[in-house]
């Protein structure tokens, strides 16, 4: 049991350093070119953000979510758009041109802990919520909006999560009816339902970058 | 942040942020590699073929379902592929927590599964993406969980404090919404609809699970009418189910890149009929027009115009594309 503020800091720091702070050392890498789909033309993603695009994204931002370290909420962007427009666009364009000076000032976040159960005693019993800068939120949202329509060509049809126009029932139909067919034709086979541990938290960044460059994402 | 004050910075070096609009897209790009790995292995003949149609893998975010042949070598290879993918991407498959179900295998397979994959064999029915799957027809017990899920909603609501209008809203938008995920996916048996109706009816009139005949002021059929026809706008689940399944037929017709291409889908006969009378086909290059059953000839189909001719054609030819 720890009660002092400094001790709590120490414990949580160690806990999250362990989860987030260590890059894995990879022992294996995959030769993507040998088996993965060929890249597609993604030059459309290299176009700079337009003012209309940014405004449309800002309009879609939720107004009153908890702000990050900068304290700006979506409502601020919405109501001050006319005033901050030129500065904001200048910042976005320089990010887009690969000018990353002092980016770490904007690309940081507060980790806030929310207890998962009534008596949360260990660091593991808390769900970390990261509050990022509103600017970082805006940039990722813009990138996501640009990428979303292209995903349909980048991902095989048997994966339907997070892609517009595909539906969870497509996957269900596929699995259920394949089982029926195998059963009816008396084909001896196995159905595996895999459990990937901590899927979202353990994606290897260097692997992700390899995939992205293989698929034709630029490095600008 | 701890009690309102920020602590020391932690440098973020792996993982994707939850709630970030970009992360899920990056995640599925990573998972797509796993699909390519298995596709390649199958193309090169390393995995024995299963059946001519369909896909081996079904991915929905981190829910992966996979079909392999029960051959011992295939088991080993699958395990290796998953291990390599885990090493390269950081996405380790937890085989102990995974579940393997044999389809039409002999007894010896269970031992193979234990030895090679180091996980235990299970059996149908199971759930995938929150829906029940089974090799046989779903039995009563498989769907009872859904009934309970709906019934469990009731105790939390202070029904005695709600007016009839308040309860109507709950029935319309909460109790009716729960089974929709199920209704889209499977042909639900009649008893299931009756059981759900019983709960909906009971809650509407009395706020409890059951209602006696005397509690119900208006016949349930009338209650289920749309508001402009004098009902309360509570959906009729049976008809809702027919309507929801129309989507599958539409996709079957229009989207050739659907993942379940080539597989038959179970739909109510009423859905098929409704679909048939709502759709007319304009023949383009004729590639996805069904000669015998589609309505392409001045808005009618050959089945209506020449029933005797059609009855001479074997059923399996009628469903085939390009059979004309």
pLDDT, tens only, B67-116: 888 777 888 888 888 888 888 887 888 887 788 888 887 777 777 777 77
> The complex's ipTM?
0.83
B 186-215 residues inside an 8 A Cβ radius of A: 186
Chain A's closest residue to B138, CA to CA, is A176
Q: Does B49 touch chain A (CB under 8 A)?
A: no
* Confidence tier at B206 by pLDDT (50, 70, 90): confident
| Chain A residue with minimum CA distance to B25 | A162
pLDDT-based confidence at B19, cuts 50/70/90?
low
Contacts of A163 in chain B (CB under 8 A): 28
Q: Mutate which of B3, B33, B66, B126 to test chain A, going by most A C-beta atoms within 10 A?
A: B33
Q: Give the model's pLDDT for residue B320.
A: 59
pLDDT for B324 equals: 41
In this prediction, residue B207 carries a pLDDT of 83
Which of B36, B68, B87 lies at the smallest CB-CB distance from A37? B36
DSSP state of A50: P
Nearest-Cα residue of chain B relative to residue A29? B88
Residues 261-280 of B with CB under 8 A from A: 263-265
Please tell me the predicted confidence (pLDDT) of residue A2. 66
Residue A128's region, left for phi above 0, alpha for psi from -120 to 50, else beta, is beta
Torsion of CA B150, B155, B159, B165, to 10 degrees: -20
Q: Write down the pLDDT at residue B5.
A: 53
Task: Reply yes or no on whether the pLDDT at B185 is more than 70.
Answer: yes
Among candidate residues A74, A77, A76, the one with its CA nearest the CA of residue A63: A74
Residues from chain A that touch B53, judged by Cβ atoms under 8 A, are 181
CB neighbourhood size of A146 (10 A): 17
Instruction: Write out chain B residues lying below 8 Å of A131, CB-based.
Output: 1
The 3-class secondary structure across chain B, one letter per residue, is CECCECCCCCCCCCCCCCCCCCHHHHHHHHHHHHHHHHHHHHHCCCCCCCCCCCCCEEEECCEEEEEEECCHHHHHHHHHHHHHHHHHHCCCECCCCCEEEEECCCCCHHHHHHHHHCCCECCCCEEECCEEECCCCCCHHHHHHHHHHHHCHHHHCCHHHCCHHHHHHHHHHHHCCCCHHHHHHCCCCHHHHHHHHHHHHHHHHHCCCCCCHHHCCCCHHHHCCCHHHCCCCCCCHHHHHHHHHHHHHHHHHHCCCCCCCCCCCCCCHHHHHHHHHHCCCCCCCCCCCCCCCCCCECCECHHHHCHHHHHHCCHHHHCCCCCC
Strand partners, B133: B126
Is the CB of residue B315 less than 8 Å away from at least one CB of chain A? no
Task: List, for residues B128-145, the tens digit of each pLDDT value.
Answer: 888 888 888 888 888 888
Residue-averaged pLDDT of chain B: 80
Name the residue of chain A whose CA is nearest to B112's CA: A190
More confident residue, A205 or B288: A205
Residues of B in contact with A195 (CB under 8 A): 93-94, 97-99
* Orientation angle between helical segments A81-96 and A134-147, nearest 10 degrees: 70
Q: How far is CA B161 from the centre of its chain?
A: 37
Place B323 in a pLDDT band, splitting at 50, 70 and 90. Answer: very low
Contact in structure between A141 and B20 (CB atoms under 8 Å): no
Contacts of A22 in chain B (CB under 8 A): 13-14
* Partner-chain contact A20 B24, CB within 8 Å: no
Q: How many CB pairs under 8 A join A and B?
A: 324
pLDDT for res A220 = 44
**Residues B22, A170: C-beta atoms closer than 8 Å:** no
Query: What phi, psi does A190 have (nearest 5°)?
Result: -125, 145
pLDDT digits (tens, 9 = 90+) for B220-244: 888 888 888 888 888 999 999 998 8
Q: Hey, of B39, B58, B73, B87, which one would you mutate to test binding to chain A, going by the most A CBs within 10 A of its CB?
A: B58
| Residue contact A170–B1, C-beta within 8 A | no
Q: Which residue has the higher pLDDT, B117 or B88?
A: B88
> Is B120:B171 a contact under the CB 8 Å cutoff?
no
Q: Which of B8, B22, B58 sits opposite A140 (nearest CB)?
A: B22
Q: Cβ contacts (< 8 Å) between B18 and chain A: which residues? A: 200
Query: Mean pLDDT: which of A82-86, A216-220, B290-294 is highest?
Result: A82-86
Pairwise CB contact (< 8 Å): A5 & B264: no
Higher pLDDT, residue A112 or A139: A139
High-pLDDT (> 90) share of chain B, %: 3
What's the confidence (pLDDT) of residue A84? 86
Position B285 scores a pLDDT of 74
- The model's pLDDT over A65-112, given as tens digits with 9 standing for 90+, comes to 777 777 788 888 888 888 888 888 888 888 777 777 666 666 677 777
Q: Are B62 and A196 in contact (CB under 8 A)?
A: yes
| Closest Cβ opposite residue B128 in set A130, A185, A193 | A193
What pLDDT is recorded for position B35? 86
pLDDT tier for residue A137 given thresholds of 50, 70 and 90? confident
Q: Does B90 touch chain A (CB under 8 A)?
A: yes
Q: What tens digit of pLDDT does each residue of A140-197 get?
A: 888 888 888 888 888 888 888 788 878 888 888 888 888 888 888 888 888 888 888 7
Confidence of residue B9 (pLDDT cuts 50, 70, 90): low
Is the distance from CB of B108 to CB of B146 less than 8 angstroms?
no
**For position A46, what pLDDT does the model report?**
76
Q: With 60 as the cut, is the pLDDT of residue B15 above it?
A: no
Asked if the C-beta of B123 comes within 8 angstroms of chain A's C-beta atoms, the answer is no
pLDDT at position B10: 53
Mean pLDDT of chain A: 78
Say if B18 is an interface residue toward chain A (CB within 8 Å): yes
pLDDT at B51: 67
- Which of B31, B101, B257 is closest, CB to CB, to A191? B101
Q: Which residues in chain A are closer than 8 Å to B27, comparing Cβ atoms? A: 162, 199-200, 203
Residue A25 has pLDDT above 70, yes or no: no
Is pLDDT at B8 greater than 60 in this prediction?
Answer: no
- Within an 8 Å CB–CB cutoff, is residue B46 touching chain A? no
Q: Is B77 on the interface with A (CB under 8 A)?
A: no
């Amino acid at each position: 049991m720890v009660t002092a503020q400094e001790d709590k800091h120490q414990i949580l720091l160690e806990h999250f350093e362990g989860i987030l702070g260590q890059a894995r050392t990879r022992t294996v890498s995959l030769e993507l070119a040998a088996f993965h789909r060929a890249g597609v033309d993604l030059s459309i993603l290299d176009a700079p953000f337009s003012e209309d695009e940014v405004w449309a994204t800002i309009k879609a931002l939720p107004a009153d979510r908890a702000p990050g370290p900068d304290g700006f909420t979506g409502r601020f962007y919405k109501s001050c758009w006319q005033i901050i427009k030129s500065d904001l666009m200048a910042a976005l364009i320089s990010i887009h041109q690969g000018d990353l000076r002092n980016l770490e000032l904007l690309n940081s976040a507060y980790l806030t802990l929310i207890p998962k159960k009534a008596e949360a005693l260990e660091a593991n019993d808390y769900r970390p919520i990261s509050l990022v800068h509103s600017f970082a939120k805006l940039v990722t949202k813009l990138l996501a909006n640009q990428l979303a329509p292209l995903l349909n060509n980048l991902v095989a049809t048997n994966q339907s999560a997070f892609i517009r126009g595909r539906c969870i029932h497509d996957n269900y139909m596929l699995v259920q009816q394949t089982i029926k067919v195998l059963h009816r034709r008396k084909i001896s086979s196995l159905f595996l339902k895999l459990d990937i541990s901590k899927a979202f938290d353990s994606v290897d960044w260097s692997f992700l970058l390899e995939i992205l460059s293989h698929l034709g994402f630029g490095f600008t | 942040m701890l009690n309102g004050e920020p602590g020391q910075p932690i440098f973020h070096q792996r993982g994707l942020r939850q709630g970030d609009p970009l992360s899920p897209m990056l995640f599925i790009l990573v998972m797509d590699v796993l699909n390519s790995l298995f596709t390649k292995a199958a193309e090169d003949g390393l995995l024995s073929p299963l059946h001519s149609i369909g896909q081996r893998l079904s991915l929905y975010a981190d829910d992966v379902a996979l079909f392999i042949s029960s051959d011992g070598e295939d088991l080993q290879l699958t395990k290796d592929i998953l291990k390599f993918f885990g090493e390269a991407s950081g996405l380790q498959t937890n085989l102990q927590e995974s579940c393997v179900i044999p389809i039409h295998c002999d007894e010896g397979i269970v031992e193979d599964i234990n030895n090679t994959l180091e996980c235990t064999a299970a059996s149908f029915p199971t759930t995938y993406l929150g829906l029940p799957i089974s090799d046989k027809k779903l039995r009563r017990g498989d769907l009872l969980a859904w009934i309970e899920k709906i019934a469990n909603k009731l105790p939390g609501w202070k029904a005695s404090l709600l007016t009839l209008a308040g309860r109507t809203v709950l029935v319309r938008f909460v109790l009716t919404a729960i089974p929709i995920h199920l209704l889209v996916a499977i042909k639900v048996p009649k008893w299931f609809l009756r059981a759900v109706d019983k709960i909906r009816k009971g809650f509407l009139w009395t706020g409890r699970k059951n209602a006696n005949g005397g509690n119900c002021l208006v016949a349930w059929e009338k209650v289920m009418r749309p508001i402009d026809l004098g009902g309360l706008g509570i959906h009729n689940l049976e008809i809702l189910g027919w309507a929801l399944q129309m989507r599958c037929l539409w996709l079957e017709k229009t989207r050739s890149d659907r993942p379940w291409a080539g597989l038959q889908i179970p739909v109510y006969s009423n859905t098929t009929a409704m679909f048939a009378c709502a759709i007319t086909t304009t023949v383009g290059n004729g590639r996805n027009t069904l000669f015998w059953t589609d309505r392409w000839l001045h808005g009618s189909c050959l089945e209506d115009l020449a029933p005797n001719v059609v009855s001479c054609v074997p059923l399996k030819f009628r469903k085939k594309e390009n059979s004309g």
